[in-house]
């Protein structure tokens, strides 16, 4: 099974019409659900090692040519904040491509044709073979609607499932140079965690790691044009995600859920430019006794 399906399944269970000032007011007026941990709702600038107001993130995103908005797929707050960032860019008159992991690149022609026909968000989802159940369409529909409302082209960014399966079976089909050992090890660890720490056998694991690298490389191709990429937070990591395959500078923003017992921003991954902390989505534990 391709890693995006595995990680998505885990996440699903586990895990220029508006002024920037107005957007900031909206962000502050609709805070995440109150949590005991004071991190929720705060924005951490990893390079400055300091908290910053959301407006600082909006400004950087509006000036950047390439932006990744990394999410936990089933957290509705993450998608609301993604749309705020998109609107802040559009408010500056900046037009980008909206690239989405949730659409497989093999359906790009169908998406383009539907756009020409004047399709609405539902029609775009149909044209792009959006997996409404697997990806929870209700959470992604507002992002597709944004692209239609603001005239942004919509890009199908993901590797097709058929190509991913072929690479799992034969890693050489990725066409990528050998992975850095640190990257390969980190991705293998991610896969093990997505399997409740029951790591697949070595041959299968190698294929799954290579498929994940190929997926990141395919999504990186979205940045041949000025674009904002919607993808899982793991893809936004600078140390092993999409930024490794982009020649130009990429602004990496991750929306990260607060864990109880981890009260310092340094307790979380720092391999992004910004971390916007949020409350946790309610979900069952996929590795609990009932899931085994």
Helices 54-63, 76-91: axis angle to 10 degrees equals 60
Q: Does residue 41 register a pLDDT over 90? A: yes
Q: In this predicted structure, what is the pLDDT of residue 23?
A: 43
70 with 230: CB under 8 angstroms? no
Contact 59, 251 (CB under 8 A): no
- To the question of domain 3-291 being in CATH 1.20.1260.120, the answer is no
pLDDT of residue 174: 97
Q: What is the DSSP letter of 222?
A: G
pLDDT in tens, 122-154: 999 999 999 998 999 999 999 999 999 999 999
User: For 168-196, how does the pLDDT look when each residue is reduced to its tens digit (9 = 90+)?
Assistant: 999 999 999 999 999 999 999 999 888 78
Residue 160: its pLDDT value, please? 95
Least confident range from 57-66, 187-196, 269-278, 282-291: namely 282-291
Q: Is the pLDDT of residue 76 over 80?
A: yes
DSSP state of 204: H
Please give the backbone phi and psi of residue 209, each rounded to the nearest 5 degrees, phi first. -60, -45
Domain residues of the chain, as ranges? 3-291
User: In this model, does residue 24 exceed pLDDT 80?
Assistant: no
Ramachandran quadrant class, 175 (left: phi over 0; alpha: psi -120 to 50; beta: rest): left
Given a cut of 70, is residue 252 above it in pLDDT? yes
Alpha helices in the chain (DSSP H): 3-13, 20-29, 54-63, 76-91, 108-116, 121-127, 132-135, 137-150, 161-169, 181-194, 202-220
CA–CA dist 277, 81 (Å, integer): 11
What is the rounded average pLDDT of the residues 67-90?
Answer: 98
* Predicted local distance difference test score (pLDDT) of residue 288: 66
Q: How many CB atoms lie within 10 A of CB 278?
A: 26
In the prediction, which pLDDT does 75 show? 97
Q: Pick from 109, 160, 120: which is nearest to 5 by CA?
A: 160
264: left (phi over 0), alpha (psi -120 to 50) or beta: beta
**Tens digits of per-residue pLDDT, 253-270?**
999 999 988 999 999 999
Residue 14 has pLDDT above 60, yes or no: no
- pLDDT top residue among 289 and 81: 81
Question: What's 212's DSSP letter?
Answer: H
pLDDT recorded at residue 285:
78
Bigger pLDDT: 32 vs 286? 286
Quick one: pLDDT at residue 134? 93
pLDDT at 284: 82
Stretch 56-60: mean pLDDT, rounded?
98
Q: Name which of 54, 12, 39 is nearest 257 in CA terms.
A: 39
207-245 per-position pLDDT tens digit? 999 999 999 999 999 999 999 999 999 999 999 999 999
């Amino acid at each position: 099974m391709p890693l995006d399906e595995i990680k998505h399944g885990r996440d699903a269970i586990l895990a220029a019409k508006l002024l920037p000032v107005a957007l900031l007011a909206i962000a502050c007026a609709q805070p995440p659900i109150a949590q005991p941990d004071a991190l929720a709702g705060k924005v951490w600038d990893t390079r400055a090692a300091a908290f910053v107001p959301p407006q600082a993130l909006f400004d950087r995103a509006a000036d950047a040519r390439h932006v990744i908005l990394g999410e936990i797929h089933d957290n509705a707050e993450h998608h609301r904040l993604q749309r705020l960032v998109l609107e802040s860019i559009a408010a500056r008159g900046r037009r980008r491509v909206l690239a989405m992991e949730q659409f497989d690149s093999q359906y790009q022609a169908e998406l383009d044709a539907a756009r020409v026909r004047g399709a609405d968000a539902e029609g775009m989802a149909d044209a792009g073979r959006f997996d409404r159940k697997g990806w929870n369409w209700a959470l992604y529909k507002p992002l597709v609607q944004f692209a239609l409302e603001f005239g942004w082209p919509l890009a199908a960014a993901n590797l097709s499932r058929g190509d991913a399966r072929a690479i799992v079976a034969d890693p050489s089909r990725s066409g990528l140079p050998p992975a850095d050992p640190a990257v390969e090890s980190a991705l293998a660890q991610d896969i093990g965690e997505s399997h409740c720490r029951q790591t697949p056998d070595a041959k299968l694991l190698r294929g799954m790691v290579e498929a994940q690298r190929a997926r990141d490389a395919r999504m990186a191709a979205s940045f041949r044009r000025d674009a904002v990429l919607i993808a899982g937070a793991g893809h936004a990591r600078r140390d092993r995600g999409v930024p490794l395959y982009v020649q130009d500078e990429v602004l990496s923003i991750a929306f990260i859920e607060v864990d109880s017992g981890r009260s310092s921003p340094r307790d979380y991954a720092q391999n992004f430019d910004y971390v916007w902390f949020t409350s946790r989505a309610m979900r069952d534990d996929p590795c609990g006794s009932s899931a085994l």
